[in-house]
Amino acid sequence: MGTTRFGLTNRITTTCTVKNGSGGGAPAREEDAAYLMENVLYGDRNVIWRSAGGFGFNFDIDLGAARTLSGIGLHGVDGSAISCGFYYQTGVYTPGGTWTFLGSSSLIGVRDAGVAFASIASIRSVRFAFTASGVMSCGKFFAGLLTDLGRVGSPGMANNEKQNRSVLQMPSGAVFITSLGSNSREITIPLGMIPEADHDTVAALADQTGSFTMVDLDDAFYDVVLLDGLLPKEYASANLRNTAIRLLGLP
């Protein structure tokens, strides 16, 4: 049984380089001219890259420096995506060189996906190997070191899917319900009584200025924010704190 982990530092940023179309055997660019591949470097699921409709293609990114990673994934997947295989390379980017396979994820019917693994040092480039049945899009790529809360099974955790909809009730009694798109999630992780030092680790979640990656005990990936921007902290004793993490999983 796994634990709950968080990716608080995403190594895929605007300091990275999309290598597609750079020559020397690099894969061709795969993009709609209005939604460029570089859009995934902004870390925003709403700033999307959109493919041109290729059925199988590699998306290569140079991280700019050797990085230690333990998770890699995608947030805000949409369209005709089928699956993605994740690979890495150490040393200078060599498109035709050796790429080490990390794992793969189905992208059918999901908005977020990825793989977690034991930490690996000196990763310089990452490859996302997509298959799709037509045009697909994605807003945010993730590669980083996951922070483990160390709670096996996350006892008491609730992960509830929530419909995004508008409900309007008229004076006549008629009710109009309008779907607003993909469902979101409300996730609660009760930590109970924890030492102050452990709470300091949890408090790092409150320092996040945008969304961040969560990986649950089943290795499912989510793009989350603190619900209401709040991290509760109750003083149970001189050294113990009672807290719970409440998260919104983005649609």
Residue for token pair 């109009």: 176
Task: Show Cβ contacts of residue 222 under 8 Å, excluding neighbours closer than 6 positions.
Answer: 112, 185, 187, 213, 214, 215, 216, 247, 249, 250
Task: Give the per-residue pLDDT at 152.
Answer: 55
Between 172 and 222, the higher pLDDT residue? 222
Task: Give the per-residue pLDDT at 153.
Answer: 54
Strands 112-138 and 140-144 come out as unpaired
Residue for token pair 């790529």: 141
Task: Give the per-residue pLDDT at 173.
Answer: 85
The amino acid that residue 97 corresponds to is G
Q: Which of 26-35, 135-144, 149-158 has the lowest mean pLDDT?
A: 149-158
Query: Taking a C-beta distance cutoff of 8 angstroms, is the pair 51, 33 a contact?
Result: no
- At 195-218, the pLDDT tens digits run 877 777 788 888 898 999 999 988
Task: Report pTM.
Answer: 0.90
Task: Give the per-residue pLDDT at 154.
Answer: 65
- At 36-95, the pLDDT tens digits run 999 999 999 999 999 999 999 999 999 999 999 999 999 999 999 999 999 999 999 999
Q: Which of 121, 120, 112 has its CA nearest to residue 216? A: 112
C-alpha distances in angstroms, 157 versus 63, 112, 183, 206, 240?
34, 19, 19, 19, 20
Assign 204 to helix, strand or coil.
helix
Instruction: Give the DSSP H/E element, type plus range, for residue 190.
Output: strand 184-195
Task: Give the per-residue pLDDT at 244.
Answer: 87
Rounded Cα gap, residues 177 and 164, in angstroms: 10
Rounded Cα gap, residues 182 and 177, in angstroms: 15
Q: pLDDT averaged over the chain?
A: 92
Q: Which of 19, 30, 23 has its CA nearest to residue 57? A: 30
Q: What is the DSSP letter of 35?
A: B
Residue for token pair 């796994």: 2
Task: Give the per-residue pLDDT at 73.
Answer: 98
Bin 80: left if φ > 0, else alpha if -120 < ψ < 50, else beta: alpha
CA atoms lying within 13 Å on the CB side of residue 200: 4
Task: Give the per-residue pLDDT at 199.
Answer: 76
Task: Show Cβ contacts of residue 171 under 8 Å, excluding neighbours closer than 6 positions.
Answer: none
Query: Which CATH number is associated with domain 3-149?
Result: 2.60.120.260
Q: Count the Cβ atoms, other than its own, within 10 Å of residue 90.
A: 15
Distance of CA 58 to the CA centre of its chain: 19
Structural tokens at position 35: 């939604």
User: pLDDT band for position 110 (50/70/90)?
Assistant: very high
Sorted by where each begins, the domain ranges of the chain are 3-149, 152-249
Strand partners of residue 243: 192
Q: Is the pLDDT of residue 1 over 80?
A: no
- At 95-107, the pLDDT tens digits run 999 999 999 999 9
- At 155-175, the pLDDT tens digits run 788 989 888 878 888 898 899
Calculate what percentage of the chain has a pLDDT beyond 90: 66
Task: Give the per-residue pLDDT at 180.
Answer: 76
Q: Which of 46-60, 122-136, 174-188 has the lowest mean pLDDT?
A: 174-188
